[in-house]
Amino acid sequence: MKNKINFLDLGTQPLANNYLAKNKSKKRENKYKLIVCFDKVTKLVSIKNTFSSEKMFNNTYPYRSSMSKTMINSFKKLSKIIKNKYKPKKILEIGSNDGAFIKNFKKNLTIGIEPCSNVERITKKLKYNTYSKYWSVNTAKKILTDHNKVDLVYSANTISHIKNLNQVFEAINIVLNEKGIFILEDPSLLECLKNNTYDQFYNEHIYVFSTLGLMNILKKHNLEIFKVERLEIHGGSNRYYIKKNTNSIKLENSFKLAIKEEIKYGLNKISTYKKFANRVKKSKSELITILKKLKRKNEKIIGYGATAKATTILNYCKINNKTIDYFLDTTKEKQNKLMPGSKIPILKYKGNLDSKVKYIFLGAWNFKKEIFLKEKKYIKNGGKFITHTPTPKII
């Protein structure tokens, strides 16, 4: 613990993704202090106070990977590459959610691990081979017994949700063939700092990875990153290609460049994170100023995309339903509920935006391109979006 330095305090927060039923609006929510810290030794950035996986990922989990075309297309594209380049006989996905990735493969080719049974049920019904389990050494042993080793492990936006990284990678070593490949995809810390997207931090995102930090922890398990691909997904993600360390491993330029760029930006130094924390404070006051100005003019503001990320912003900036009337979202499990903490109602997205709405706070800013395309009529008619990244503004 003494290697960890706190650098950012995002205040008291409710659990993101813990959307409240309307009749439970008076119920006291579970809250925690959202503090972000930097480990001087490993260079990993993580949140200080964490909850058990069982508390966050259970049979009421509302997140669906298939809710965005961007994600579906990204998984499709990667699946083609995997089939053509690596030709695996068996693929394991950690955090298979509603099957957005594994659905691109034949049923007998994949194994999915998804602890949230309400979501895992979706792929099981489709006859995919999925387990409602947390990723752990025990789960890896179970997979080994049931299926033998796999040639490829894929995990998108999941490993950063698991506190005990040592156990995660130990388990990978159990199931992965000696020559197998582990592809790990998660939001990039460098992009988070560059774009001031402090809302990447919330209870589920225990880590926001840099290549540097990930490399250090993987090394302890004899695993090595040999290639890094930059993706636009979730406001800038990295797709890390990892192998078991052997003498013959060839590190590609993309990996060397990623490390070089991260060091140049200062991801190995606490001063960089302290500067980021100052920018976050400024971002908060600028966003509040924009919203207050609009409210003074009696403008109606709504939200688009009831994201977990938005929970961090709303509660950090103390924005409630006096400012944002409601959020729209396409996810059935979130509709007719309330945003955690701020208690802003979430309504079903029906396609037609209320003509009285002139300002929309972009909760799902990471799908800006997709949303702007979908809402081109609203934009053409003069409708505006409010975003906090890279700096708060009306666009």
Rounded to the nearest whole angstrom, what is the least distance from the CB of residue 293 to ligand TYD in the complex?
26
> Contact at 8 Å (CB) between 92 and 113?
yes
Q: What stretch of H or E contains 241? A: strand 237-244
Rounded to the nearest whole angstrom, what is the least distance from the CB of residue 29 to ligand TYD in the complex?
17
Rounded to the nearest whole angstrom, what is the least distance from the CB of residue 16 to ligand TYD in the complex?
7
Give the other-Cβ count within 10 Å of 375's Cβ.
17
**Residue 63 or 128: which CB sits closer to ligand TYD?**
63
Restricting to residues 261-300, which ones interact with ligand TYD according to CB under 6 A?
none
User: Residue 20 carries which side chain, given as an amino acid letter?
Assistant: L
Q: Is 349 in the site for ligand TYD (CB under 6 A)?
A: yes
Rounded to the nearest whole angstrom, what is the least distance from the CB of residue 141 to ligand TYD in the complex?
30
**Residue 15 or 111: which CB sits closer to ligand TYD?**
15
The correct pick among 67, 92, 189, 302 for binding ligand TYD (CB under 6 A) is 67
Per-residue contact track with ligand TYD, 359 to 378, x per CB under 6 A? -----x-xx--xx--x----
HSE of 71 in the Cβ direction (CA atoms, 13 Å)? Answer: 22
Rounded to the nearest whole angstrom, what is the least distance from the CB of residue 280 to ligand TYD in the complex?
17
CB-neighbour burial class of residue 93 (10 A; exposed 0-12, middle 13-18, buried 19+): buried
HSE of 176 in the Cβ direction (CA atoms, 13 Å)? Answer: 24
Return the closest-CA partner of residue 365 out of 221, 220, 211, 187. 187
If you write DSSP's letter for every residue of 283-350 in order, what string do you get? HHHHHHHHHHHHHHTT--EEEE---HHHHHHHHHTT--TTT---EEES-TTTTTEE-TTT--BEEE--
Per-residue contact track with ligand TYD, 37 to 66, x per CB under 6 A? --------------------------x---
3-state secondary structure at position 370? helix
Rounded to the nearest whole angstrom, what is the least distance from the CB of residue 197 to ligand TYD in the complex?
10
**Residue 309 or 343: which CB sits closer to ligand TYD?**
309
Residue with tokens 């190995």: 268
Per-residue contact track with ligand TYD, 304 to 333, x per CB under 6 A? -xxxxx-------------------xxx--
Rounded to the nearest whole angstrom, what is the least distance from the CB of residue 111 to ligand TYD in the complex?
24
Rounded to the nearest whole angstrom, what is the least distance from the CB of residue 115 to ligand TYD in the complex?
16
**Residue 280 or 308: which CB sits closer to ligand TYD?**
308
**Residue 67 or 116: which CB sits closer to ligand TYD?**
67
The correct pick among 13, 18, 46, 68 for binding ligand TYD (CB under 6 A) is 68
**Rounded Cα–Cα distance for residues 208 and 225 (Å):** 17
- How many residues of this chain bind ligand TYD (CB under 6 A)? 19
Rounded to the nearest whole angstrom, what is the least distance from the CB of residue 17 to ligand TYD in the complex?
7
**Residue 103 or 205: which CB sits closer to ligand TYD?**
205
**Residue 210 or 311: which CB sits closer to ligand TYD?**
311
> Contact at 8 Å (CB) between 121 and 115?
no
Tokens of residue 174, six digits? 């159990």
Q: Is 97 in the site for ligand TYD (CB under 6 A)?
A: no
**Rounded Cα–Cα distance for residues 175 and 374 (Å):** 42
Q: Is 203 in the site for ligand TYD (CB under 6 A)?
A: no
3-state secondary structure at position 183? strand
**Residue 340 or 392: which CB sits closer to ligand TYD?**
340
Q: What stretch of H or E contains 73? A: helix 69-81
Restricting to residues 136-165, which ones interact with ligand TYD according to CB under 6 A?
none
Rounded to the nearest whole angstrom, what is the least distance from the CB of residue 63 to ligand TYD in the complex?
6
Rounded to the nearest whole angstrom, what is the least distance from the CB of residue 88 to ligand TYD in the complex?
27
CB-neighbour burial class of residue 29 (10 A; exposed 0-12, middle 13-18, buried 19+): middle
Restricting to residues 108-137, which ones interact with ligand TYD according to CB under 6 A?
none
CB-neighbour burial class of residue 351 (10 A; exposed 0-12, middle 13-18, buried 19+): exposed
Contact footprint for ligand TYD (CB under 6 A) = 63, 67-68, 305-309, 329-331, 334, 349, 364, 366-367, 370-371, 374
